[in-house]
Amino acid sequence: MEAEGPQCTGPMDNGTGSTGLRIGAIFIIWATSTAMTLFPVLTRRVPRLHINKEAFDFAKYFGSGVIIATAFIHLLSPAASDEELGSPCLNENFQNYPFAFAFAMIAMFAVFVVEVVAFRVGSEYAQKLAYDPHAGGHHHAMEHGGNPNHTHIHNHAPVKTHSSDDVENAAVPAGAVTAADTKMVADSDSSVDTKVALSTQASEILGVMILEFGVVFHSMIIGITLGTTTDFTVLFIVIIFHQMFEGLGLGARLAFLPIAKSWIPMLGAVLYGLVTPIGIAIGLGARRTYNGDSTTAALVTGTFDAVSAGILLYTGTVELLAHEFIFNDKMRTAPLRKVIISILEMLTGAGIMALLGRWA
């Protein structure tokens, strides 16, 4: 007898089993994911909850591995499966071309372009701020000379000076530097430092915002899936750990934002904790009419998963791994033991999250 194919049209009754547990899942996942995400933020902001730096580093590197494994195992793989963008309910174009990988690639390049543009705009703003006399800039000081009591002296080598009338060149002896020269050098250094610091902070904030967007996008889909699936119990247990580990990684990034003293990191943690329960509630409400095998569901879910995968792949590899291990001066000069431990922490997070993909 020929096996029955997927029901590609119309509503599907996903059953009424485990209704109480499904409702309880809203509050359980909200409490566990919010607590784990808020933990790094609160321990950094509240002196009584202070923990040592090694614990923060573990959360940061472990979370980086979790996010990368999420992109590959929990997003890109399902998006390419026959339940989503490879579904037989979709037209033959989706059977003949890897749209899941294409959408992930497009999302990754889109994030890259957004970050390049934002970094350029932020750098221009930082440069304007650094040289604005009303915002702490120094160009007036460079034009009119500095404080003669300034003691920041550079030992310049002999320099050739040229007059506009082509008079004889004169050498300036070493150490014979005027106060205006030293003030100009100091102000120039300060302006460059200010510009670089502001640009770096803007880039870091943007990276965490992109990460937040990717995990929130993904978590909403997880919630809807959990609210409508017939295989609820195993998936529920796995998603508890999934959201906790992912929240730990996000919370560690939020805690170290340059704006960590504001309310924004707290808001980011609370928002992450809410989206999956909201998705579960939506799934429960649509459980009798939602058809996860339908053409629309396969297309929408697959596209969302593929786009989220591209976002998290870029964020995980560029913002987290590259910035933390390759472009970080502290990590480049850290003892080999510290580097190895950090890499092992990252691999542990990726390994555990990849293992959870066996069930979800």
| Mean pLDDT in order along the chain per 10 residues (360 residues) | 56 63 92 94 81 86 92 93 90 91 96 85 67 49 44 45 46 50 50 55 78 88 85 87 91 80 87 94 83 83 93 90 87 92 95 89
In a domain, 347, yes or no: yes
> How do the residues of the chain divide into helix, strand and coil, expressed in percent and rounded to 5?
70, 0, 25
Sequence-distant (≥ 6) Cβ neighbours of residue 177 within 8 angstroms: 153, 154, 156
Helix (H, G, I), strand (E, B) or coil at 351: helix
Among 303, 324, 254, smallest CA distance to 106 is for 303
In a domain, 297, yes or no: yes
In a domain, 205, yes or no: no
In a domain, 114, yes or no: yes
| Helix H or strand E segment including 234 | helix 232-255
In the prediction, which pLDDT does 278 show? Answer: 95
Dihedral sign, Cα of residue 50, residue 51, residue 57, residue 60: negative
Is 169 in contact with 161 (CB distance < 8 Å)? yes
DSSP-derived secondary structure letter, 356: H
Amino acid at 354: A
In a domain, 192, yes or no: no
Among 102, 66, 99, smallest CA distance to 82 is for 99
Give 161's strand partners: 170
Helix (H, G, I), strand (E, B) or coil at 171: strand
In a domain, 160, yes or no: no
In the prediction, which pLDDT does 319 show? Answer: 82
pTM equals 0.73
In a domain, 258, yes or no: yes
In the prediction, which pLDDT does 180 show? Answer: 53
Count of structural domains, the chain: 1
Distance CA 263, CA 214 (A): 21
Neighbours of 64 (CB within 10 A): 26
Distance CA 260, CA 97 (A): 44
Neighbours of 48 (CB within 10 A): 6
Sequence-distant (≥ 6) Cβ neighbours of residue 3 within 8 angstroms: none
Task: Give the whole-number percent of the chain exceeding pLDDT 90.
Answer: 34
* Segment 71-127, tens digit of pLDDT: 999 999 999 998 899 998 898 889 899 999 999 999 999 999 988 887 777 677 666
* Segment 242-263, tens digit of pLDDT: 999 999 989 988 888 877 567 8
Helices 179-228 and 232-255 cross at an angle (nearest 10°) of: 170
Is 239 in contact with 222 (CB distance < 8 Å)? yes
Amino acid at 45: R
In a domain, 37, yes or no: yes
Give 170's strand partners: 161
In the prediction, which pLDDT does 116 show? Answer: 86
Neighbours of 195 (CB within 10 A): 20
The mean pLDDT value of the chain amounts to 79
Range of the domain at 310: 19-140+212-356
Distances (CA, A) of 129 to 98, 139, 198: 47, 11, 9
